[in-house]
Amino acid sequence: MRPLGAAVLLALGLTTAAQTVAPGPARPPDALSPAFHKQRRELLRQALPPRSVAVLFAAPVRNRANDVNYVYHQNPDFYYLTGYEEPEAVLVLFAEPQTLGGQPGVTEALFVQPRDPAREQWTGRRLGAEGARRELQIQFVADNRDFARAGIRWADFAQLAYLPLPTDVRDAPHDSADLYDLLATFRRQAILPPPPEPALAEARQVLLQYGATNEAQMLGYLRSAARQSPAVAQDAQIKQYLAATTSAQRQAAAQTFGRYDGGLVLDAALDQLRAVKTPEELVLLRRAVRISAVGQQEVMKAAHPGMGEREMQGLHEFVYRKYGAEFEGYPSIVGAGANGCILHYETNSKPQVGNELVLMDCGAEYRGYSADVTRTIPPSGRFSPAQRQIYELVLAAQEAGFAACRPGADFQSPGQAAQKVIAAGLRRLGIITRDEQMRRYFPHGTSHHLGLNVHDRGGAGPLVAGNVITVEPGIYIPENSPCDPKWWNIGVRIEDDVLITATGYENLSREAPRTVADIEALMARPSALEGFKLPELE
C-alpha cells in the first residue's frame, strides 16, 4: 500500500491511532553508545581550523520504482558522528562555541525531522528533536524546520567545511524542510560557490592526501590532469603546487584551503578517525565478520552441482538474517566458472553451477559495520588438479600478504608481496612468460580498509594498530586467454578481514576454511539445510 501524505491523512481523519505511537525506534542493546558518537564529534571538531564550521547532511532517500523507495541507509559519516539513522537531517559542528537559539556555548547542533504521528503510522517511528536529544545526547537539537531560521552567521566563519553535496535529491512537495530544502537553505545562506567539475574535485582530493608525501608522483599526476582538464590547469592551488621550487613550498601548497572547502578538510579528518577502529567498533565488526564466516561454512556444506548461484546467495543472506544482521554490506557476488572471472559480478543468475569453481564474495552488515569475506569452492566437493593448482597459488599469495601485515608497513606491502608470489607461480605454470603479464590475471589491489563502508575510509599511508583491512589476492583466467585451455574459466579469490595489532595482525575471518584440505573436509559434512524442502512449483 502506498503511504499517503500527512496532509491527506489529516483530511481523511486517519490520525487518531497514530497519536499513541511511542517516540522513536528502539535502539539495539549493542548499538554504539552515545558517548562513542560524542567523542567522535569532539575529535572531528578539534581537527577543524580556527573560526571554521563543519556541516554534514544525512543521506538522501533513494527511489527504487514509482512510489517505492529503497530501504533507507544512513550516510556512514553522519551515523559515525551522531548515531542518527533517519533521513532529512543536518549536523553542524563549530570550531569555537556559538550562541544558537538563545543557548550560549553551542559546539554541536543537530536538526532532525519532527515527530509526525500521521506519517509515523505509515512509515515508522521517529525520534524527533526531544527523542534525539535524549537518546543521542547531542548538545543542541531542533526540528529541521528550524535550520533555516537558526540564525547561524555563516559569513562570520573563516572556513566552511562540508563534504560534496548530493545533487540528485528529490523535493517532497509537502515537506518544507526535507533534504532538498535543507541543502537549498545551506547553499543560499552560506552563499556557496558552484561545485567544481569532477576532474578538479578529484585532483584537489588527491593533492590533499598525497601532495605532502609523494611529491614526484603528484607532480606527474597533476601535470597529466592539467593537460586533460582546463579547470585543473587554471586552479590556483594546483598552479601554486606545480610552480613550487622547493619541497616546503609544495607541502604548503598541498595544505592550502579556500574559504569554501567542499570535502578536503573533512575527508582528511574523517579518513584519519575512521581508519583506526575503537574497541567498541571492533565488537560490532567482529560480529559482522563471524556471521559472514559462518555463512561461508554453511554454504560449503550445502553446496552441490545442481544448486544455482542465486540459491547460494540466498543461503548466505539467510544466515546473516538468522544472526540479526540488518543488511548485506554490498551486493553479494556468487559466480561460477566464467562468472567467477568477473570481478564485481552481481547478477548471480546461473541456474546450476555444475562442477566449475564458485567464487563467493559475500559480507554481512551488522549495526552498520560490514564484513567482506571471499571463498572459492568446488561444488562437487573436490578440486580438480588444475583448479587446485590455481587455488593453492592464490593461497600462497595470501599468506605472503598476511606476513606483510604489521604496524609501520606500507599499506601497499601486502599487495606487493602477493603480486610477487602470483607472478612467479603463473610463470612456473606456463600461464605467463614475463612478470608484468601477471596483471592480466590479477588486475586488482589486494587490500582496502573495512568498517562502516565495505571500502572504508582510511589513507594509503603506513599501517597502524587498529586498522582493519582486507587481504584478497585473486587469479582470473577468462575463456580464450593466451594460455592452455585447461586453465580457462578458473576464477579464484580468497579474501579475509585482518585487524592490525600492536605486534602483527589477527585474521578476523579465520573461521571460514581456507585450505584445500579444510574446504574439502567441510564440504563432506552434512548440512543443516539438507532437510529443508519446499513444494515444487509447476
Per-residue pLDDT of 28-45, as tens digits, reads: 899 999 999 999 999 999
Q: Render pLDDT for 111-146 as a digit per residue (tens, 0 to 9).
A: 999 999 999 999 999 999 999 999 999 999 999 999
Contact of 127 with 135, CB cutoff 8 Å: yes
Confidence at 257, pLDDT banded by 50, 70, 90: low
Cβ atoms of 495 and 373 closer than 8 Å: yes
The domain limits of the chain are 34-190, 198-259, 276-527
Dump pLDDT digits (tens) for 416-474: 999 999 999 999 999 999 999 999 999 999 999 999 999 999 988 899 999 999 999 99
- Helix or strand run (H / E) with residue 474: strand 474-477
Does this chain's domain 34-190 share its CATH topology with 276-527? no
The listed CATH number (3.40.350.10, 3.30.428.10, 3.20.20.100, 1.10.3720.10) that belongs to domain 34-190: 3.40.350.10
- % residues pLDDT > 90 (the chain): 81
How many alpha carbons fall within 13 Å on the CB side of residue 72? 13
Q: Indicate the pairing of strand 260-261 with strand 159-162.
A: parallel
Q: Give pLDDT tens digits for 299-339.
A: 999 999 999 999 999 999 999 999 999 999 999 999 999 99
Statement: residue 2 has pLDDT above 90: no
Q: Are strands 103-112 and 140-143 parallel, antiparallel or unpaired?
A: parallel
The CA–CA distances, whole Å, from 29 to 32, 37, 367 equal 9, 15, 11
Contact 408, 502 (CB under 8 A): no
**Domain 276-527 - what CATH class?**
alpha beta
Chain segment 370-402, per-residue pLDDT in tens: 999 999 999 999 999 999 999 999 999 999 999
CB-count burial class (<10 Å; 0-12, 13-18, 19+) for 214: middle
Res 237: pLDDT: 87
